[in-house]
């Protein structure tokens, strides 16, 4: 079968000679409907975040059950499902609580399909256990694939700050890409806070306003922090969600976050922060959440089925993977690109 394979630093190739896996035991074989293209893939491809292995990319996956191992119950051929991405051990306490994104054994094992193990940028994908599947009912797997990450990750980050996102507060969203454009819609639907979006191009700022941001600021402007403080006034922003995570966006976050606020860095841009007592308001919680839980993914499916969030999709063929990654490097993708086998 055809697959988009990571061979090493800046070396991604579309190949045709991968054997279609046969599921055994608890495993499930999916016919892939769509695999989302996440910026984390670029960190792997360009910066070598996962080294030493050759594997099929794609960690945002959805499709239809094709074949099940002999121990699998509750699923049959044709069921439409999402693949929960961070594969834990399945046994430790966080995994039992469905938080496999924080599995105790994360440091000992590959992260999951598309992140060291074979992922979904292929015609078929082997999932190690039906525990990692979430049914999507009437949703189309092509459109639903990015729910597993581009929606789940911001959903989980927003949920942990929800009690601070009251109607008299402000939230700053930095980066209106795959994750950020869904974050704006989740905030619009489940929180009361006024939304200030930041990106570096005028089209992304206009897009942010369409999606529910009341204000849009270009974070390349040298006075971006002052512009944001002009909006928030003295109270500043109760929550900052940074979907870029480079040093300049982290700096911006520390300047605009309020006393007792949350500064949540989701982007894996490799930025640095040097703690400075006078540079950070008292009571700020700085966090770097990773993905979300299995049950939160079920809640995200609920948001999509109620049409409260809409993922802006561009569809591409597996053969076009390298062109799509190049467009992502240049910040040219609106919403999320999905590879469709």
Tell me how far apart the alpha carbons of residues 106 and 100 are, in angstroms, rounded to a whole number. 9
User: Taking the complex as a whole, how short is the minimal distance between the CB of residue 95 and ligand NAD, in angstroms?
Assistant: 17
Tell me how far apart the alpha carbons of residues 236 and 234 are, in angstroms, rounded to a whole number. 6
Strands (DSSP E) contained in 177-273 are 194-199, 215-218, 237-242, 257-265
Q: Is 39 in the site for ligand NAD (CB under 6 A)?
A: yes
* Interacting residue with ligand NAD among 125, 291, 293, 301 (CB under 6 A): 291
Tell me how far apart the alpha carbons of residues 66 and 64 are, in angstroms, rounded to a whole number. 6
- Is 23 or 58 the residue whose CB approaches ligand NAD more closely? 58
- Is 176 or 239 the residue whose CB approaches ligand NAD more closely? 176
Q: Is 154 in the site for ligand NAD (CB under 6 A)?
A: no
Residues numbered 205 to 264 that lie near ligand NAD (CB under 6 A) are 219, 243-246, 248-249
- Of 244, 243, 240, the closest CA to residue 253 belongs to 240
Site string for ligand NAD, 110-149 (x = CB under 6 A): ---------------------------------------x
Q: Is 43 in the site for ligand NAD (CB under 6 A)?
A: yes
Task: Count other Cβ atoms within 10 Å, centred on residue 330.
Answer: 7
* Interacting residue with ligand NAD among 38, 173, 194, 216 (CB under 6 A): 38
C-alpha pair distances (Å), 33 with each of 29, 47, 75, 120: 13, 28, 17, 9
- Work out whether the CA dihedral 101, 105, 106, 112 comes out positive or negative: negative
Tokens of 51: 């080294």
Q: Of Zn ion, ligand NAD, none, which one sits near residue 191, judging by CB under 5 to 8 A according to partner kind?
A: none
CB 86 within 8 A of CB 94: no
Rounded to the nearest 5 degrees, what angle is found at the Cα of 102, between the Cα atoms of 238 and 132? 115
- Is 269 or 341 the residue whose CB approaches ligand NAD more closely? 269
Q: Is 209 exposed, middle or buried (0-12, 13-18, 19+ CB in 10 A)?
A: middle
Q: Of ligand NAD, Zn ion, none, which one sits near residue 286, judging by CB under 5 to 8 A according to partner kind?
A: none
Q: Is 100 in the site for ligand NAD (CB under 6 A)?
A: no
Site size for ligand NAD (CB under 6 A):
34
Site string for ligand NAD, 167-196 (x = CB under 6 A): -------xxxxxxx----------------
Q: Which residues bind Zn ion (CB under 5 A)?
A: 38, 40, 88-89, 92, 95, 103, 149
Tell me how far apart the alpha carbons of residues 146 and 60 are, in angstroms, rounded to a whole number. 6
User: Taking the complex as a whole, how short is the minimal distance between the CB of residue 106 and Zn ion, in angstroms?
Assistant: 8
Residues that bind ligand NAD (CB under 6 A): 38-40, 43, 149, 153, 174-180, 198-201, 204, 219, 243-246, 248-249, 266-269, 290-291, 328, 331, 333
């Amino acid at each position: 079968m055809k697959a988009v394979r990571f061979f090493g630093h800046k070396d991604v190739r579309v190949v045709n000679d991968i054997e279609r896996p046969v599921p055994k035991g608890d495993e499930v074989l999916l016919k892939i409907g769509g695999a989302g293209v996440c910026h984390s893939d670029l960190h792997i491809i360009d910066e070598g975040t996962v080294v030493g292995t050759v594997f099929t990319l794609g960690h945002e996956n959805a499709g239809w059950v094709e074949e099940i191992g002999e121990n699998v119950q509750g699923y049959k051929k044709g069921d439409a499902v999402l693949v929960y991405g961070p594969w834990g051990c399945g046994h430790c306490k966080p995994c039992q609580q469905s938080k496999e994104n924080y599995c105790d054994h994360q440091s000992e094992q590959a992260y999951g399909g598309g992140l060291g193990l074979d992922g979904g940028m292929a015609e078929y994908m082997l999932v190690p256990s039906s525990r990692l599947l979430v049914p999507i009912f009437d949703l189309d797997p092509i459109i639903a694939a990015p729910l597993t990450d581009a929606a789940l990750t911001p959903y989980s980050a927003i949920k942990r700050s929800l009690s601070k996102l009251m109607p008299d507060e402000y939230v700053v969203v930095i980066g209106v890409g795959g994750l950020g454009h869904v974050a704006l819609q989740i905030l619009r639907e489940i929180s009361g806070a006024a939304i200030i979006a930041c990106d570096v191009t005028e089209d992304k700022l206009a897009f942010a306003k369409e999606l529910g941001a009341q204000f849009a600021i270009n974070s390349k402007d040298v006075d971006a922090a002052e512009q944001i403080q002009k909006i928030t006034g003295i109270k500043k922003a109760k929550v900052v969600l940074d979907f870029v995570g480079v040093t300049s966006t982290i700096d911006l976050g520390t300047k605009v976050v309020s006393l007792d606020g949350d500064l949540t860095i989701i982007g894996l841009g490799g930025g640095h922060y040097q703690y400075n007592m006078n540079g950070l308001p008292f009571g700020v919680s700085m966090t770097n959440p990773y993905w979300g839980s299995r049950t939160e993914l079920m809640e995200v499916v609920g948001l999509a089925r109620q049409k409260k969030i809409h993922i802006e999709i561009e569809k591409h063929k597996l053969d076009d993977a390298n062109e799509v990654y190049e467009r992502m490097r240049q910040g040219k993708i609106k919403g999320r690109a999905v590879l469709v086998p």
